Amino acid sequence: MEQKYELRLYVAGKTQKSVTALSNLKKYCEEHMKGEYHIEVIDLLVHPQLAEGDQILAIPTLVKKVPEPVRKIIGDLSNQEKVLVGLDIRPR
Amino acid sequence: MSKKIAHLKKSADQTELQKTPTGIPGLDEVTLGGLPTGRPTLICGGPGCGKTLFALEFIVRGAEQYNEPGVFIAFEEKPDELSANVTSLGFDLEQLQKQKKLKIDYVHVDKTEIEETGEYDLEGLFIRLGYAIDSIGAKRVVLDTIENLFSGLTNEGILRAELRRLFSWLKEKGVTAIITGETGEKTLTRQGLEEYVSDCVILLDHRIINQISTRRLRVIKYRGTMHGTNEYPFLIDEEGISVLPVTSLKLNKQVSTGIVSSGIKPLDSMLGKGGFYKGSSVLVSGTAGTGKTSFAASFIDKACERKERSLYFAFEESPNQIIRNMRSIGIDLQKHIDKGLLEFYASRPTLYGLEMHLVSIHKAIRKFKPQVVVLDPITNLITVGSVSDVKSMLVRLIDFLQSEQITVMFTALSLNTIVSDQTDEGVSSLVDAWLLIKDIELNGERNRGLYVIKSRGMQHSNQIREFIITDNGLDLVDVYLGPEGVLVGSAREAQKLLEQTGQALHTHAISRKDRELTRKRRLLEARIESLKTEFESTEEELNKVYIEEDIKRGIAQETRQFMTEFREGKKEAIKGNKSNK
């Protein structure tokens, strides 16, 4: 089924930051876009070749593929406001 | 244990530091072997100074010449842009990528796309880099320009910590890395990358002096090894970068005792050993129109006739002009060009800086491998540099030529005495032989006098010769040294003529005197004869008197006797007397 939000979270192994980011992301999604999102977690330690495609530098990076425009949010997503702005849920 | 110590000792003896050759001509000589293997090197410089090209050439040459695959992480240019930029240099990046010798990874950092929140690290970059390195087994890595991260990401604290980690990670990986960075206001790089990369730092510079730009390179630091500390000029041309290799650090060149003829026989004999030493440097200086170019052309001509390869660097005239002009004095350079023995390199001195000239001369020499080189004239180079610059350039050139055993002839124009002293001072101490062609003004004409001012290691003549340009080439004639001083040209001819006349007159005079003398002798002899005759006649006269007197006396006596006897009546007596008689 088509989701309104397609999100990819790039991590590198189960580091503290990755775990924090994922749990933060899930929390925000549940709060603001319940049922409208799909999260794909990509572990670059397993699939290093995928890093180039989305121009990943920093870990963890959240990439919002859909809806356009593509946005990247880097960090452990601890700042909820910034994440929501980045996901275009809140106006800038 | 003892084995291990022995091994350690051995490796310590061999090299303190492993080096990776860059393959960039000249740079490996400056760094005495290349960049430190397995360590990052920082290349910094202002915009447009050639950092990216430098880094890319390091990778390409590594892949092509040393079979060391390389990874190029581009933060600035996209792979296709990069390939397009270097195609003109003959680097085929596409092909290298297909052969898995090169991997270009473009890292795009766009501030507008990125939102930062909370803690993060650059593990993504590490993974990409690691993946790229592992996928082709790279030995060389370039990060161009990693400082771009600072414009895309705001958390400097994290960035700095991550950079530090990146460099130690690169060291662990054992790859030889180049990191490029733009020069900051007070620091070598804007973000102070030199703080992290401390093994080797190379500064590129693009300076404009007197409206002429010169690229220069300096190894600022290189831990654990000796390196050239000067600023070395480098050139970017159709073959990529070439760094000028420079004065070697030692003065221990091989020398030859072989002799190269100057092309003018009388000059060879003036020089004592029959010419110049092979691999020596010769300076021919003189005022305008003294025949320096003709001199050089004749030298080249003779060299080519000996089947020696020759290079002619012309800074004043075009090759065609020189060939035409030299024909007028019976030197045909075209035939040597046709045979491939002679090549001309003509360039305007103002085309680029001195150092660039030097680099291009170097390249030409390396390519053509000549045995004889002419630079005509070096004076024009002064228009693009000071006397000391020219000198330092020539030192390096002579050094290089000597090491290659190439005989070089410079011509230098001296405008007037002051400038000539200056120029000559600048250069004359460097060269092995110095010939000065001087105008000698006399009787309303100018003539060329040639002096051998110096010729190291030879007992050269101290004589001034007159240098003559004829339809059949050059020649030297002895000048006339007489009571009136040194005479040349028509004065010499006149003097010669005068001498000949004098000689003739002299001979004439002598023969006249001789004749006079003969005549006088004859006269005297005649007089002696006549006196003799006179004497004889006088004698005869005298004798006559005596005889007469004798006769008289005799007759008188007879008469007396007769008379006496007659008186005595002795008729017989008279008769007897008569018969006695």
Q: Which residue has the higher pLDDT, B342 or B11?
A: B342
User: Which has the closest alpha carbon to B52: B74, B29, B22, B20?
Assistant: B74
B108, B120, B128: residue with CB nearest A74: B120
B105, B116, B117: residue with CB nearest A52: B105
List CB contacts (< 8 A) between B125 and chain A.
Answer: 57-58
The pLDDT of residue A80 is 84
- Whether residue B508 has pLDDT greater than 80: yes
CB contact under 8 A, B115 and A73: yes
CB contact under 8 A, A76 and B124: no
User: Which ranges of A1-92 does DSSP label H, i.e. alpha helix?
Assistant: 16-32, 50-53, 80-86
Same domain, B238 and B263: no
The pLDDT of residue B248 is 53
Name the domain boundary from B478, B494, B519.
B478
- Whether residue B506 has pLDDT greater than 80: yes
In angstroms, the CA B333 to CA B546 distance is: 106
Question: Per the domain annotation, does A86 fall within a domain?
Answer: no
B107, B113, B124: residue with CB nearest A10: B124
The pLDDT of residue B6 is 44
> Taken in order B481, B485, B486, B489, is the CA torsion positive or negative?
negative
Residue B522: pLDDT band with limits 50, 70, 90:
very high
- Whether residue A14 has pLDDT greater than 70: yes
Residue B4: pLDDT band with limits 50, 70, 90:
very low
Question: Per the domain annotation, does B486 fall within a domain?
Answer: no
Same domain, B309 and B231: no
CB contact under 8 A, A55 and B108: yes
A17, A51, A73: residue with CB nearest B131: A51
Provide CB contacts within 8 A for A23, sequence distance 6+.
Answer: none
Q: Which helix (H) or strand (E) holds B310?
A: strand B310-314
**pLDDT 10s digits, B126-159:** 888 998 999 999 999 999 888 888 888 888 888 8
Inter-CA distances, A45 with A15, B122, B520, B576, Å: 11, 13, 134, 190
List CB contacts (< 8 A) between A84 and chain B.
Answer: none
In angstroms, the CA A74 to CA B120 distance is: 7
Query: Tokens at residue B464, please?
Result: 């001034």
Which residue type occupies B572? E
Distance from CA of B202 to the nearest CA of A (A): 27
**pLDDT 10s digits, A22-60:** 898 888 888 888 888 888 999 988 888 888 888 888 888
* Residues B31-56, mean pLDDT to the nearest whole number: 87
In angstroms, the CA B398 to CA B431 distance is: 8
- Whether residue B404 has pLDDT greater than 50: yes
List CB contacts (< 8 A) between A70 and chain B.
Answer: 113
Please say whether the beta carbons of B480 and B492 come within 8 A: yes
Buried b (16+ CB within 10 A) or exposed e, B216-226: bbbbebbeebe
CB contact under 8 A, B115 and A58: no
Helix B354-368 to helix B387-403 angle (10° resolution) is 20
Residue B478: pLDDT band with limits 50, 70, 90:
confident
The pLDDT of residue B420 is 46
The single-letter DSSP state of residue B193 is G
The pLDDT of residue B338 is 92
Same domain, B229 and B335: no
B109, B113, B153: residue with CB nearest A70: B113
Closest residue, chain A, to B162 (C-alpha): A58
Please say whether the beta carbons of B74 and B82 come within 8 A: yes
Distance from CA of B120 to the nearest CA of A (A): 4
Residue B267: pLDDT band with limits 50, 70, 90:
confident
CB contact under 8 A, B118 and A59: no
Closest residue, chain B, to A72 (C-alpha): B114
Query: Tokens at residue B260, please?
Result: 């190269």
A17, A57, A77: residue with CB nearest B125: A57
The pLDDT of residue B521 is 92
Same domain, B267 and B215: no
Backbone torsions φ then ψ of B452, nearest 5 degrees: -95, 105
Share of chain B above pLDDT 70, in %: 89
Residue B311: pLDDT band with limits 50, 70, 90:
very high
Question: Per the domain annotation, does B555 fall within a domain?
Answer: no
Strand partners of residue A40? A8
List CB contacts (< 8 A) between B124 and chain A.
Answer: 10, 12, 44, 51, 56-59, 61
Query: Tokens at residue B416, please?
Result: 């007037």
Residue B570: pLDDT band with limits 50, 70, 90:
low
Backbone torsions φ then ψ of B329, nearest 5 degrees: -110, 20
- Whether residue B249 has pLDDT greater than 70: no
* Residues A73-78, mean pLDDT to the nearest whole number: 87
The pLDDT of residue B251 is 59
Query: Tokens at residue B563, please?
Result: 């008379």
CB contact under 8 A, A73 and B116: yes
Residue B100 sits in a domain of what CATH number? 3.40.50.300
- Whether residue A1 has pLDDT greater than 80: no
Question: Per the domain annotation, does A41 fall within a domain?
Answer: yes
CB contact under 8 A, B153 and A73: no
Residues in chain B: 581
Same domain, B332 and B471: yes
In angstroms, the CA B427 to CA B437 distance is: 16
In angstroms, the CA B326 to CA B305 distance is: 15
Residue B69: pLDDT band with limits 50, 70, 90:
very high
Question: Per the domain annotation, does A89 fall within a domain?
Answer: no
The pLDDT of residue B433 is 87
**pLDDT 10s digits, B407-456:** 999 888 776 544 444 455 567 777 888 888 888 777 778 888 888 888 88
CB contact under 8 A, B120 and A59: yes
User: Which has the closest alpha carbon to B403: B248, B544, B510?
Assistant: B248
Residue B440: CB atoms within 10 Å: 18
The pLDDT of residue B517 is 92
- Whether residue B388 has pLDDT greater than 80: no
Question: Per the domain annotation, does B418 fall within a domain?
Answer: yes
List CB contacts (< 8 A) between B114 and chain A.
Answer: 71-74
Query: Tokens at residue B152, please?
Result: 């895309």
Same domain, B272 and B371: yes
The number of domains in chain A is 1
Q: Which residue has the higher pLDDT, B281 or B355?
A: B281
Share of chain B above pLDDT 90, in %: 10
Q: Which domain holds residue B92?
A: 18-243
Give me the half-sphere count of Cα atoms (radius 13 Å) on the Cβ side of residue B132: 29
Residues in chain A: 92
Residue carrying the six token digits 């003109």: B88
Buried b (16+ CB within 10 A) or exposed e, B172-188: ebebbbbbbbbbbeeeb
CB contact under 8 A, B124 and A51: yes
Please say whether the beta carbons of B277 and B298 come within 8 A: no
A44, A69, A76: residue with CB nearest B118: A76
Distance from CA of B125 to the nearest CA of A (A): 4
Same domain, B201 and B307: no
The pLDDT of residue B120 is 86
CB contact under 8 A, B122 and A59: yes
Question: Per the domain annotation, does A92 fall within a domain?
Answer: no
- Whether residue B525 has pLDDT greater than 90: yes
The pLDDT of residue B312 is 92
The single-letter DSSP state of residue B113 is G
* Residues B59-68, mean pLDDT to the nearest whole number: 90
Which residue type occupies B491? A
Residue B261: CB atoms within 10 Å: 17
Question: Per the domain annotation, does A88 fall within a domain?
Answer: no
**pLDDT 10s digits, B355-372:** 778 878 888 888 889 999
Name the domain boundary from B441, B462, B478.
B478
Which residue type occupies B423? T
Strand partners of residue B436? B285, B451
Same domain, B195 and B338: no
Same domain, B182 and B281: no
Gap between the terminal Cα atoms of chain B: 163
Residue A66 sits in a domain of what CATH number? 3.40.30.10
Same domain, B222 and B324: no
Closest residue, chain B, to A51 (C-alpha): B128
Q: What is the mean pLDDT of chain B?
A: 82
The pLDDT of residue B424 is 52
In angstroms, the CA B8 to CA B346 distance is: 55
List CB contacts (< 8 A) between A44 and chain B.
Answer: 123-124, 127
pLDDT winner (highest mean) among B154-163, B332-341, B407-416, B564-573 = B332-341
In angstroms, the CA B285 to CA B439 distance is: 11
The number of domains in chain B is 2
Same domain, B179 and B238: yes
Strand partners of residue B438? B449
Q: Which domain holds residue A49?
A: 5-76
